[in-house]
Amino acid sequence: MSESPIHTDVLKCRTRAEGRVLEIELDHGRANEMGSVALADWERIAAEVQNTDVRAILTFSRRRSSRGTPLFIAGADVTERVGWSDGDVKAHVRRQRRVLATLRRAPVFHVAVVDGVALGWGTEFLICCDYRIATPAAQFGLPETALGILPGAGGTSELWSLIGVSQALRLGMTGEHIRADEALRIGLVQETVVDVEAGLLRALSLSEAVARRSPTAVAAFKRGVLACVGQPRLAREEQEARGYEHCVDSGDAAIGRANFKALLKGGDVTWGPRSVPD
């Protein structure tokens, strides 16, 4: 394990797998709440990760409250907004939405292990992850409408695409809290595990599998899948064709062909630098 190539102020970042897996541990503030400083860290990660050799991001928390309650992201830091104008608040939430949208499109595989409270911003954060693992202590919900606002960092515009319109309306309009088993049933998470350590082992296994593959092919595949959402069939087919041809043009398809037998046996090869299709 080594230091992260990306500077952060409150998020604890380090790398594994020869710098190809970026681990981000949440351990800041009173309850890992999302305030301006943490948001700036995520903004920096979203902008800079594509200029590093990072292939996968693993986000997790071992944080406990003073009463022993596990915490993932307890929500936004509303206390810092005391004295802010309405314009300040609106600009800040637009920035939150922009940061998460950029992180969602990052050319890496992002897996989160949720152990504990993930309310409001904590649930919205999961939208920017590619794969989500939860422990029995995980708790999800959108309390915003009880506070006179709506979920503004993707909970309104994007959550439905993960769990369906009816489930998104249920969470956002009732504020109901759900646990890991219900989150799994509706598709908010993809796996459940017995505890955070089991979740980290599973997440690291997935991340290391991604890290061995062509970074260009992985980036092209992710971009293609996300770009195809909501598009008609012909547009989807063209998106796939452009991504495939980009892999050929980058040279990684030739590397794969030349090392086909070694790759079938699980061997490592040296891929070219990551090239993200337009």
Return the half-sphere exposure (C-beta side, CA atoms, 13 A cut-off) of residue 120: 23
The span from the CA of 155 to the CA of 167, in Å, is 12
Beta-carbon neighbour count of residue 131 at 10 Å?
20
Closest CA to 207 of 131, 125, 96: 131
Q: Give the active site residue among 124, 182, 208, 238.
A: 124
23 catalytic? Reply is no
Please list, residue by residue across 182-207, b when 16 or more beta carbons sit within 10 angstroms of its beta carbon and e when fewer do: ebbebebbebbbeebeebbebbbebb
Return the half-sphere exposure (C-beta side, CA atoms, 13 A cut-off) of residue 161: 14
The span from the CA of 256 to the CA of 219, in Å, is 16
What would you report as the CA-atom Rg of the chain, rounded to the nearest whole angstrom?
Answer: 19
Q: Is 17 left (phi over 0), alpha (psi -120 to 50) or beta?
A: left
Return the half-sphere exposure (C-beta side, CA atoms, 13 A cut-off) of residue 109: 24
> Edge-to-edge strand order for the sheet containing 2-3?
2-3, 12-16, 21-25, 56-60, 109-114, 131-134, 191-192
Closest CA to 2 of 49, 17, 212: 17
240 catalytic? Reply is no
Which residues does the annotation mark as catalytic? 124, 144
